Amino acid sequence: MKNVTLRQLKIFEAVARHLSFSRAAEELHLTQPAVSMQVQALEDQAGLPLTEQAGKKVRLTAAGEELARQARRIAEQLREAGEALSALKGVEAGRLKIGVVSTAKYFAPSLLAEFRRRHPGVELHLTVNNRGTIVRHLAENDIDLAIMGTPPNEFETVAKIFAEHPLVFIAAPDHPLAGKRSIDPKRLADETLLIREPGSGTRGALERFLEEHQVPAGARMELGSNETIKQAVMAGLGLSFISEHTIGLERSVGRLVKLSVNGTPVKRQWRLVYRTDKRLMPAATAFVDFMDSEGSRLIEEQVGKQMPPAVAKPKSQIS
């Protein structure tokens, strides 16, 4: 493929990402025939079909999947080269792609807003998903940095702790365990536990807690998001184990309560994670430094804003 151009690779990468010639054309401000012509030229160079039509949908062939991976890699290298040159000229700019596990979405936007205020020249791209998907994005180099709890084991990473991450059991305010002190973890065996999907970091932490405290398996209900779990707990469907950073608003209005289960809160850590072989550009380096110095404080401020103010006890009246 000696005569392939960067323009052709850019067009094909858009087609592969959207699985649509028309959407790729719209993104690149081209006509659909122009996009089709460039993809056909790539296929002629490759000597293999890169796409196939399945009704109205486009699918990539094995050759197309490989070429799409290489096209994304080349685009990433060109981006990094541009940012490196900007850094040499003393320009703080560039694009920063950050992945955030869904549990961290409750505080991540405020962190990014503060970082953007300090570094207005940086273009931020945020991806929010479950842990498994964020790990895959890291592995495929689709994101520069990830905010998560437990770093992946599948490949080597740098994982910098920037804040504490407490996990707690929650219940509806009218639950029999609400307000009780020193709850024996084995009492949880009698309750329905609302849990996240396999691969969730919170679910893994819950399973380790139950195993450590020898809690027999009880009834469980699997739900796909923290929001769904909170709504289910408020409706009285059961208890859950969740990040304390996700329940500030519900606690502030009296819709959820934190249970005093012995051994909790379980203290984990929030980490900023990136591949060991990742060459950090100036924008990414600035974000790493920002999280190291400000991450913990900003999270605590965010959580504190959601908590109800302390209510002073009335003074005894003197007769």
DSSP 127-172: EEE-HHHHHHHHHTT--SEEEESSPPSSS-EEEEEEEEEEEEEEE-
Confidence at 145, pLDDT banded by 50, 70, 90:
very high
Q: What is the pLDDT of residue 91?
A: 45
pLDDT at 307 over 70: no
pLDDT confidence of residue 170: 95
Tell me how long the chain is: 319
Q: What is the predicted pLDDT for the residue at 92? A: 63
Residue 313 has pLDDT above 50, yes or no: no
Considering the domain architecture, whether residues 258 and 126 belong to the same structural domain is answered as no
Ranking 12-21, 91-100, 149-158, 210-219 by mean pLDDT, the lowest is 91-100
Is residue 240 helix, strand or coil?
strand
On whether both 75 and 21 belong to a single domain, the answer is: yes
Are 139 and 176 members of one domain? Answer: no
Task: Please provide the average confidence, as pLDDT, over all residues in the chain.
Answer: 86
Q: Identify the bridge partners of residue 158 per DSSP, sorted by sequence position.
A: 274
Domain span including residue 200: 165-267
Q: Does the pLDDT value for residue 62 go beyond 50?
A: yes
d(CA 179, CA 173): 8
pLDDT(302) > 80: no
pTM, entire model: 0.64
Local confidence band at 178 (pLDDT 50, 70, 90 cut-offs): very high
**Of 82, 114, 130, which marks where a domain is finished?**
82
291 domain-assigned: yes
Q: Do 27 and 170 have their domain in common? A: no
Asked, for residue 294, whether it belongs to a domain, the answer is: yes
Question: Between 288 and 79, whose confidence is greater?
Answer: 288
Amino acid (1-letter code) at residue 2: K
Question: Which amino acid, one-letter code, is at 233?
Answer: V
Q: Please indicate, yes or no, whether residues 122 and 255 belong to a single structural domain of this protein.
A: no
CA angle 271, 276, 282 (to 5 degrees): 80
Q: How far is the C-alpha of 129 from the C-alpha of 123, rounded, in Å?
A: 20
Domain count, the chain: 3
Which tokens sit at 264? 């909790």
Q: What's the start-to-end Cα distance of the chain, in Å?
A: 96
Residue 318 included in any domain: no
Looking at the structure, tell me whether residues 170 and 262 fall in a common domain.
Answer: yes
The last residue of one of the domains, among 51, 82, 113, is 82
**What confidence tens digit (pLDDT) does each residue in 120-140 have?**
888 899 999 988 899 999 998
Q: Tell me the pLDDT tens digit for each residue of 16-55.
A: 999 989 889 898 888 888 899 889 988 888 888 999 887 7
319: pLDDT strictly greater than 60: no
Are residues 16 and 67 both part of a single domain?
yes
End-of-domain residue from the set 24, 47, 82: 82
Q: CB neighbours of 68 closer than 8 A, spacing ≥ 6?
A: 12, 13, 16, 17, 60
pLDDT of residue 230: 94
- Residues 149, 288, single domain; the answer is yes
Does one domain contain both 155 and 283?
Answer: yes
CA-CA-CA-CA torsion sign (215, 217, 223, 224): positive
CB 256 within 8 A of CB 151: no
DSSP for 254-274, please give it. Answer: TS-EE--BTT-SEEEEEEEEE
Whole-angstrom CA distances from 52 to 15, 45, 262, 291 are 12, 17, 58, 45
pLDDT category of residue 311 using cuts at 50, 70 and 90: very low
User: Is residue 286 assigned to a domain?
Assistant: yes
Residue 224 pLDDT > 90: no
What one-letter code names the amino acid at 158?
Answer: V
Radius of gyration of the chain (CA): 25
Q: Are residues 74 and 32 in the same domain?
A: yes
- Give the CATH number, domain containing residue 198: 3.40.190.10
Let me know if residue 319 belongs to a domain: no
- Predicted pLDDT of residue 131: 87
pLDDT digits (tens, 9 = 90+) for 74-116: 887 777 777 666 665 544 667 899 999 988 888 898 899 999 9
Give the CATH number, domain containing residue 26: 1.10.10.10
Residue-wise pLDDT tens digits, 236-285: 999 999 999 889 889 889 999 999 999 999 999 999 999 999 888 888 88
Phi, psi dihedrals of residue 160, rounded to the nearest 5°: -105, 120
Confidence of residue 71 (pLDDT cuts 50, 70, 90): confident
In a domain, 231, yes or no: yes
- CA-CA-CA-CA dihedral for 272, 107, 224, 169, to nearest 10: 100
Per the rule left: phi > 0, alpha: psi between -120 and 50, beta: everything else, 19 is left
Is the residue at 317 inside a domain? Answer: no
Residues 136 and 228 reside in one and the same domain: no
Q: Kindly state whether residue 312 falls inside one of the protein's structural domains.
A: no
Do 246 and 180 lie in a common domain? yes
